Structure 1
Amino acid sequence: MAARKSVIVGMNGQPLMMANSAYDGASHGRRMGGVYAPGSGINTNLNYALTTLRNRSRAGHRNMPLLRSGIEKKVTNEIGIGITPRSKCENVDLRKTINALWDESCFQFDPEGNLDVYGMQAQISRARRISGECFIRARYRSSSADLLVPIQFQVLEADFVPLDFNDTLSNGNRIIAGIEFNRRGQRVAYHMYREHPGEMYNYQASLANLVRVPASEVAHHFNPLHPGQIRGEPDSAASLVKAQTFDSYDDAELVRKQTRAPFTGAIYRDALDANDADNWAFDPISGDPLGGESGFGNAKAEPGTIFELLDGEKIEMFKGDDTGQGYADFMRWQSLMQAAGMDMPYELLTGDWEKVNDRLVRAVLNEFRRRIQMDQWHLMIPQVMRWMRWHWLNRAVLAGRLNLPGYATKMRDYHQHTWCPHGWPYINPNIDVEAKINAIDADLVAHEDVVAENGDDLTDIQARNKVARDNRGERTPKQRQKDKDNE
């Protein structure tokens, strides 16, 4: 295949040289010459467009069914009923005490009192997917507050940190898009509005009235897709144009059908003969005179009516619901493009499972769940939940809600914990459970890890099962197997 030739043009518009490109994508011919591909840094490109992207993404979530479906199903699969922490410190009794206090106090984390920590997880995930990011601020409360642990966590929309606030401070720190960095490039503070700048009741949204919050008290939840990226990109950024055009087209098609539905057909008449002009002045069904200067009106008929037409008349019935050849295939392909733009399976986005069997369903869901696990373990758990639990445990000890001996020297041990995301339901329960049992028996996986995949804690399950068996006077499965072997 011949190499593509490109022309490099000087400032005066004259060609400087002819260059061959080994890559078609780097050619400057008619096909690729009009492609806009700036070489700007990610923050220059994103921060300039982020306000518009964010607002359009929010509008799409409010008004576009497929876009809303995609975001909500991602949130549902990422969070479920919650990602639960379980202490793993050496002392088993202290482990149980820490877990019990978390389970009781997590209902008090929301300053507004609307959600527990697991509902907040869903809210945080949704905000990241719609707006590209959100901020969580630790709010320390007085020990006299009516809280089990005197700390709460305030979830803030991305708008609280202004994109257009940039400055260089006298100490050498730089503020970029509302985030303050030291000379080493580390985040040291976030500059925030006191109230949401877009609310109608807000009177304090001014760049001259920002609050500087230390970075240690703020969790910035976003997906840094590129090295050096400092603000988040909405999940729907790549599919917004497709979603808007598709939604407008579908709505126009619906309106077209709606407006044509009242019209059944038309009676066509040949050119009028002056001698027969009186015959055309009456309704062919009722015989009533037709109104209007044109002499034409509407022929209304009851079901089962047979038309008796005059000479020169003919009826043509409308096809009001005819959407044309290939309409369904066209709509499916556009939905596939939207699904690709939102990085999720078409079947899950649309609910259309017609063309997949049980094996394909497993393959589709396994790929999607792997993607969701990335979001859980790369974003939600390290950026938000570990940070939240660190602040909570420190505050619980300082306020005397937990008595952890030698906490200052054994912090690493006391902060050991694992996270249990809400497990997905089995696709085929009998086969799936049997496969996990075989994997445990063959030492391919740990029993504890298999249970944790379903969002549960092995120690807790075993303790509750033992109590239930003791109450019923039953022996464990292993004991029963041993009895059988001894026989």
Structure 2
Amino acid sequence: MKSRPPDGGVKWGIGDRALALFAPRIAARRYAARISIDNLRRGYEAARRGRGTEGWRTTGASSDAEIAVAGAVLRDRMRDLVRNAPMAAAAVQVLVNNIVGAGIQPRAASKSKTRNARVDAAWEQFSAAADAFGHTDFHGLTALAVREMIEGGDVFAIRRPLRAGVAPVPLQIEIKEADHLDDGRLLLREDGTRIKQGIEYDTAGRRLAYYLFPDHPGDVSSMFSGNSASVRVPADMVAHMFERQRVQSRGVPWGTPALRAIRDLDDWQMAELVRKKTEACMVGVVIGADEDEQSMAPKVTTAGGEDVEQFEPGMIAYARGTKDIKFNEPSSTSGVREWTMTQLYAVSAGFRVPYPMMTGDWSQSNFSSSRVGMNEFRRMIEQVQWHIVIPMFCQPIWDWFCEAAWTAGLIDSPTIPVEWAPQRFESINPLQDAQTDLLEVQAGISSMPQVIAKRGYSPQAVVAEQAAFLALTDSYGLKFSSDLRTGTAQAASGTAKSATGTADPAGQGDGAGDSGPTPDGEAPAPGASDTSKT
């Protein structure tokens, strides 16, 4: 007989009571464990087992074990959808456009301006000829690598040193897809080193080498070239870029959560299109057989008496012994747009791309909602740039470049610090954003180099260009309102204030401390006064 204790907890049976008489401590621990299990079951509904979760199949495998089984299939299906599904192709292109854009530009950041100028000049030479196949420059390689990472899960950049004299900087970069990795190679050595999914690790888990196929395994020519065996490539010759969603060694395609949704949407649209075409083929059927033809087999013919074997648009079929005609009535298509939009919302969420950017449909957005959505999307893009693309792809290539340029005698050190400047995001409200930048610089929250770098430009290059332009205008005796040396930028600031409705209409304020009411009778916004004077 079992009973329930006074506190209303788990059941307390005869065996428990007997154990409590001889070993109370063990009985107490046993009872406490039962209470903990019961609390967990009550606290996490998703962990319950029953009819509601009967079809929920999960696994406790590691991320590497799951990727080893499903990685190749996911890559193949993702690439198939990018080739054939418009939404998948658009989502990938939006991600590449925002992550890379025109390029992620490096700038040497040593303490010597002369050294920085020399390093930047050498980088320009290397960037123009960085592609080992000669198709594009470094920024084009970055865009290709990011696309491969999104479609295939990961990508490999291979360091290709050149002989002296072949190029100004004896270095080129080769991009290899994820399929080049021999992920079937597994080995556990006696010294503790191991090979897992084609990647060799030391005893501490650091990468020692990659086993890569010289030719793509799916290329027909590789079957006859004799390069079907993988080759060991040291880890310092490879830059492996992928997104880490768990503690894992390889990545998966970004659109993996949306693959089923895209496939189902395409199948549904195709089925709906076929149904509409079928309905449009048959305009009507002449029916109503005579009494003497009731026993004859049903037969449908054209007006000329030929048997109907396939339907064509605008067709009218005749049944044998007809006296009446019935016209086809196509079914309603209500709800198609709503259902399609719902599926596209799921697809955009799976790709982490805003719905309007993926579909081009901004009808459901206004200025405020689109700006909030873009801000969140840009945070994700910046995280990818600074946590994945720059440290896993751009920085290794910069280190290779510095070593190669130093070996060639172009720079005086094999290690040069660098600053990376991703392409700036286009402003949704340029005037407001420019005023915000100006106020932040004047308040000391930001520096002018930071504001310039945020726009994707080099502060040193902008200052040098500005100085050269001012020297040119001075030689012609020209003065512009944007010349900050003489404080004449006040006129430009006043023009900007007029555009926002905060300028002094009578022109009586001195612009420094004027806190009177605006023409609309409202007090000016903080910082709206003329702060361009020094």
TM-score by length of 2: 0.76
Matched residue SS, 2:174: strand
Following the alignment from structure 2 to structure 1, what is the Cα–Cα distance between the partners of residues 312 and 290? 19
Q: 1:437 to 1:293 in 2, by over 3 A?
A: closer
Deviation at 1:262, TM superposition (A): 3.8
Deviation at 1:299, TM superposition (A): 12
Deviation at 1:479, TM superposition (A): 2.2
Following the alignment from structure 2 to structure 1, what is the Cα–Cα distance between the partners of residues 244 and 313? 66
Following the alignment from structure 2 to structure 1, what is the Cα–Cα distance between the partners of residues 105 and 471? 28
Following the alignment from structure 1 to structure 2, what is the Cα–Cα distance between the partners of residues 51 and 299? 43
- Aligned match for 2:201, one of 172, 176, 181: 181
Matched residue SS, 2:379: helix
* Cα deviation 1:453-477 (Å, max 9, x = unaligned): 2211122112112212221224563
- Aligned match for 1:368, one of 360, 371, 377: 377
- Aligned match for 1:41, one of 62, 74, 87: 62
Following the alignment from structure 2 to structure 1, what is the Cα–Cα distance between the partners of residues 292 and 217? 74
Deviation at 1:21, TM superposition (A): 3.9
Q: Which structure ranks higher in relative contact order (CA pairs < 8 Å, sequence separation ≥ 6)?
A: 1
Deviation at 1:292, TM superposition (A): 4.8
Q: 1:318 to 1:480 in 2, by over 3 A?
A: farther
User: Which residue of 2 is the match for residue 115 of structure 1?
Assistant: 136
Q: 1:290 to 1:24 in 2, by over 3 A?
A: same
Following the alignment from structure 1 to structure 2, what is the Cα–Cα distance between the partners of residues 204 and 34? 47
User: Which residue of 2 is the match for residue 257 of structure 1?
Assistant: 276
1:198 pairs with 2:207: no
* Cα deviation 1:285-331 (Å, max 9, x = unaligned): xxx9752589xx99989xxxxxxxxx964553533xx5532111000
Q: Give the AA of the match of 2:485.
A: Q
1:230 pairs with 2:249: yes
Following the alignment from structure 2 to structure 1, what is the Cα–Cα distance between the partners of residues 245 and 286? 63
Q: Give the AA of the match of 1:221.
A: M
Matched residue SS, 2:215: coil
User: Which residue of 2 is the match for residue 242 of structure 1?
Assistant: 261
User: Which residue of 2 is the match for residue 460 of structure 1?
Assistant: 461
Matched residue SS, 2:57: coil
Following the alignment from structure 2 to structure 1, what is the Cα–Cα distance between the partners of residues 187 and 488? 73
User: Which residue of 2 is the match for residue 217 of structure 1?
Assistant: 237
Contact 1:194 1:204 in 2 (8 A): no
Deviation at 1:256, TM superposition (A): 2.5
Q: Give the AA of the match of 1:84.
A: Q
Contact 1:47 1:231 in 2 (8 A): no
Matched residue SS, 1:139: strand
Q: 1:65 to 1:299 in 2, by over 3 A?
A: closer
Following the alignment from structure 1 to structure 2, what is the Cα–Cα distance between the partners of residues 299 and 22? 61
Listed as ranges, the matches of 1:346-425 within 5 Å are 346-402=355-411, 404=412, 407=413, 411=415, 415-425=416-426
User: Which residue of 1 is the match for residue 106 of structure 2?
Assistant: 85
Following the alignment from structure 1 to structure 2, what is the Cα–Cα distance between the partners of residues 252 and 416? 57
Following the alignment from structure 2 to structure 1, what is the Cα–Cα distance between the partners of residues 374 and 173? 33
In the comparison of the two structures, how many residue pairs are matched?
A: 435
1:448 pairs with 2:478: no
Matched residue SS, 1:94: helix
Q: Give the AA of the match of 2:280.
A: A
Gaps of 5+ in 2: 1-9, 11-33, 294-300, 316-321, 491-509, 511-532
1:480 pairs with 2:486: yes
Following the alignment from structure 1 to structure 2, what is the Cα–Cα distance between the partners of residues 89 and 454? 21
Gaps of 5+ in 1: 6-16, 276-282, 302-310
| Higher alpha-carbon Rg | 2
Matched residue SS, 1:226: coil
User: Which residue of 2 is the match for residue 325 of structure 1?
Assistant: 334
Q: Give the AA of the match of 1:182.
A: D
Q: Give the AA of the match of 1:480.
A: T
Q: 1:331 to 1:167 in 2, by over 3 A?
A: same
Matched residue SS, 1:212: strand
User: Which residue of 1 is the match for residue 29 of structure 2?
Assistant: none
User: Which residue of 2 is the match for residue 334 of structure 1?
Assistant: 343
Following the alignment from structure 1 to structure 2, what is the Cα–Cα distance between the partners of residues 252 and 299? 17
Q: 1:325 to 1:212 in 2, by over 3 A?
A: same
Following the alignment from structure 1 to structure 2, what is the Cα–Cα distance between the partners of residues 112 and 293? 60
User: Which residue of 2 is the match for residue 29 of structure 1?
Assistant: 50
Following the alignment from structure 1 to structure 2, what is the Cα–Cα distance between the partners of residues 31 and 483? 69
* Cα deviation 1:181-207 (Å, max 9, x = unaligned): 00011111111112111100003354x
Following the alignment from structure 1 to structure 2, what is the Cα–Cα distance between the partners of residues 465 and 289? 83
Following the alignment from structure 2 to structure 1, what is the Cα–Cα distance between the partners of residues 304 and 169? 83
Deviation at 1:172, TM superposition (A): 2.4
Contact 2:280 2:314 in 1 (8 A): no
User: Which residue of 2 is the match for residue 316 of structure 1?
Assistant: 327
Q: 1:60 to 1:21 in 2, by over 3 A?
A: same
User: Which residue of 1 is the match for residue 23 of structure 2?
Assistant: none
Contact 1:179 1:190 in 2 (8 A): yes
Matched residue SS, 2:362: coil
Contact 1:110 1:153 in 2 (8 A): yes
Q: 1:114 to 1:269 in 2, by over 3 A?
A: same
Q: Give the AA of the match of 2:155.
A: C
Q: Give the AA of the match of 2:396.
A: W
Contact 2:94 2:353 in 1 (8 A): no
Deviation at 1:483, TM superposition (A): 9.9
Deviation at 1:33, TM superposition (A): 2.2
Contact 1:196 1:205 in 2 (8 A): no
1:53 pairs with 2:62: no
Q: 1:315 to 1:298 in 2, by over 3 A?
A: farther
Q: 1:81 to 1:289 in 2, by over 3 A?
A: closer
User: Which residue of 1 is the match for residue 518 of structure 2?
Assistant: none
Contact 1:132 1:233 in 2 (8 A): yes
Deviation at 1:239, TM superposition (A): 1.1
Task: Give percent identity, aligned residues only.
Answer: 26
User: Which residue of 1 is the match for residue 353 of structure 2?
Assistant: 344
1:125 pairs with 2:146: yes
Following the alignment from structure 1 to structure 2, what is the Cα–Cα distance between the partners of residues 300 and 131? 46
Following the alignment from structure 1 to structure 2, what is the Cα–Cα distance between the partners of residues 442 and 325? 57
TM-score by length of 1: 0.83
Following the alignment from structure 2 to structure 1, what is the Cα–Cα distance between the partners of residues 377 and 448? 24
Q: Give the AA of the match of 1:74.
A: L
Contact 2:158 2:239 in 1 (8 A): yes
- Measured on the aligned residues, the alpha-carbon RMSD in Å equals 2.8
Matched residue SS, 1:86: strand
Deviation at 1:243, TM superposition (A): 1.0
Q: 1:45 to 1:483 in 2, by over 3 A?
A: closer
Q: Give the AA of the match of 1:111.
A: A
Deviation at 1:352, TM superposition (A): 0.8
